[in-house]
Amino acid sequence: KRLGVLVSGRGSNLQALIDASKDKDYPAEVVVVISNNPSAYAIERAKRENIPVFVVERENYKNKKEYEEKIKEILQSFRVDLVVLAGYMKIVGKTLLEAFPNRIINIHPSLLPSFPGLEAQKQAWEYGVKISGCTVHFVDEGIDSGPIIGQRAVPVYDDDTPETLAERILQEEHKLIVESVKKVLTEEYEIIGRRVVFKKRG
């Protein structure tokens, strides 16, 4: 199956998917990377792996619709089966949601619905939670609000800083994104209300 990955920054989750796809038994490969940020290190990661990468900058388009039409056009030209937002820092709009209904997933560095939005790791640290983690969910019109596919938890230690917590969560993100993509692409599931119900026990 063919993945289109949208990025804006470092690209470590993209790298996790690239590394996983090197195992011939992994059911997906990254066929195209799109960044809205021309200086995203994720671009270097794609180039190093000879994966086609496109920079699509929002300011080059007169509105969000035209911007997303461009992204949609690239994703469709690469016959993408699943779109993965991996550190993509823009809100997905109607154009992409309608083009890829329940085929866009996002990874977020907190146990949603707690701490949506930016700097989720710092939000959790400041709140004083003792368990945090990460979430992969289907993208809907909201912010970090779609049906949850999977989550991984990490302990928060009293001597943690926002940075040490973010690093601990990031290690789990890399596992969660790889296993969630595989699950969505290989397992039967139904979305019932907000619940993603996978048929197999898990």
Residues that bind ligand GRF in the complex, under the rule CB under 6 A: 9-13, 42, 86-87, 107-109, 170, 173
Q: Which helix (H) or strand (E) holds 172?
A: helix 162-186
Minimum Å gap between C-beta 46 and ligand GRF is 12
Assess whether the previous peptide bond of 155 is cis (omega < 30° from 0). no
Active site residue 108: yes
Cis peptide before 113 (omega within 30 of 0): yes
- Is 89 known to sit in a ligand binding site? yes
Shorter beta-carbon distance to ligand GRF: residue 18 or 71: 18
Of 100 and 121, which CB lies nearer to ligand GRF in the complex structure? 121
Say whether 11 counts as a known binding-site residue: yes
Report residue 20: phi and psi, to 5°.
Answer: -65, -40
Residue 83 in contact with residue 28, Cβ under 8 Å? no
What whole-number distance in Å separates Cα of residue 191 and Cα of residue 101? 12
Token pair belonging to 6: 């949208």
Q: What is the separation of C-alpha 105 from the centre of its chain, rounded to a whole number of angstroms?
A: 6
Q: Flag whether 91 is marked binding.
A: yes
Cα separation of 152 and 164, whole Å?
17
- Name the catalytic one among 45, 72, 103, 108: 108
Min CB(137)–ligand GRF separation in Å: 11
Phi and psi angles of residue 78, each rounded to the nearest 5 degrees, phi first: -95, 10
Cβ nearer to ligand GRF, comparing 69 with 90:
90
The four Cα atoms 146, 151, 154, 158 give a dihedral, to 10 degrees, of 20
Rounded to the nearest whole angstrom, what is the least distance from the CB of residue 132 to ligand GRF in the complex?
Answer: 12
Residue 117 CB, nearest distance to ligand GRF (Å)?
A: 10
- For residue 90, say whether it is annotated as part of any ligand binding site: yes
Ligand-binding site membership of 13 (annotated):
yes
In the complex, residue closest to ligand GRF by CB: 87
Residue among 68 and 173 whose Cβ is closer to ligand GRF: 173
List residues forming the annotated binding site: 11-13, 64, 89-92, 106
Catalytic residues: 108
